[in-house]
Amino acid sequence: SQTIHQWPATLVQPVGSPLSLECTVEGTSNPNLYWYRQAAGRGLQLLFYSVGIGQISSEVPQNLSASRPQDRQFILSSKKLLLSDSGFYLCAWSTFGADTGELFFGEGSRLTVL
Amino acid sequence: GQNIDQPTEMTATEGAIVQINCTYQTSGFNGLFWYQQHAGEAPTFLSYNVLDGLEEKGRFSSFLSRSKGYSYLLLKELQMKDSASYLCAVKDSNYQLIWGAGTKLIIKP
């Protein structure tokens, strides 16, 4: 069966510090991968998605970046965090070419920038 | 612009029925999803509608009217564990998901 894991689950970082969130998927190959951010009272905001190794599409220009060094690994990074980067970050995958394209989410990472 | 509207919060009684509405205005339509999200956890998939009508899955049902840009999620025989946020999302003409802000459902004994 397919599983998705992301870490760390929670982190508190000072403004200006770097960030690295990691996500891995098991039990499937060539998945579509996504990074979302969820702010309180707002819908999920798509940050990045990837349809293959090294292929990253950015939906929102900001100080975050994403990389996909391996087929089932997706990393969200920042060189210098801002206060506005605080939020709940979710990694997700879907089956490439699937009719419904439902998303399967990781456990989430809650980031607090102080 | 693209917009998904759903009520911010609803309250219902254990054992009762509740209907959560979702209206959408998107550039194209390629399906509508409902997800459940418990506080502090990730969303989990509940249902998918792409054709008009009602889809039933146990205690949960989802309805779609494409001409009206409208969907609802119906929860029957409510249980305390159904207390959660319910997210409506529409896949647009580019197959990108547009998300509503979610409806927080509070179940009272």
Residue A102 has pLDDT above 90, yes or no: no
Task: Give the C-alpha separation, B11 to B81, whole Å.
Answer: 14
Give me the pLDDT at residue B51, please.
95
Is the CB of A71 inside 8 Å of chain B's CB atoms?
A: no
- The helix/strand/coil state of A101 is coil
Type of residue numbered B98: I
**How many interchain CB pairs under 8 A, A with B?**
46
Q: Which of B72, B70, B66, B57 is nearest to B20 (CA)?
A: B72
Note whether A43 contacts B4, CB cutoff 8 Å: yes
Interface of A with B in 7-26 (CB under 8 A): none
State the CB neighbour count (10 A cutoff) for residue B27: 11
Give B38 to chain A, closest Cα distance, Å: 11
Task: Give the C-alpha separation, B38 to A107, whole Å.
Answer: 11
Give me the pLDDT at residue A43, please.
83
Give me the pLDDT at residue A60, please.
79
- Determine the average pLDDT of the residues in A23-40: 92
How much of chain B, in percent, has pLDDT values that exceed 70? 100
- Determine the average pLDDT of the residues in B40-65: 95
Note whether A43 contacts B96, CB cutoff 8 Å: no
Give A39 to chain B, closest Cα distance, Å: 9
Residue A100 has pLDDT above 80, yes or no: no
Contacting residues of A for B91, CB less than 8 Å apart: 101
State the CB neighbour count (10 A cutoff) for residue B104: 17
Count how many residues are written for chain A.
114
Residue A98 has pLDDT above 90, yes or no: no
Q: Strands A10-13, A109-113: parallel, antiparallel or unpaired by DSSP? A: parallel
A-interface mutation test, from B97, B98, B99, B104, most A Cβ less than 10 A away: B97
Note whether B45 contacts A103, CB cutoff 8 Å: yes
Is the CB of A106 inside 8 Å of chain B's CB atoms?
A: yes
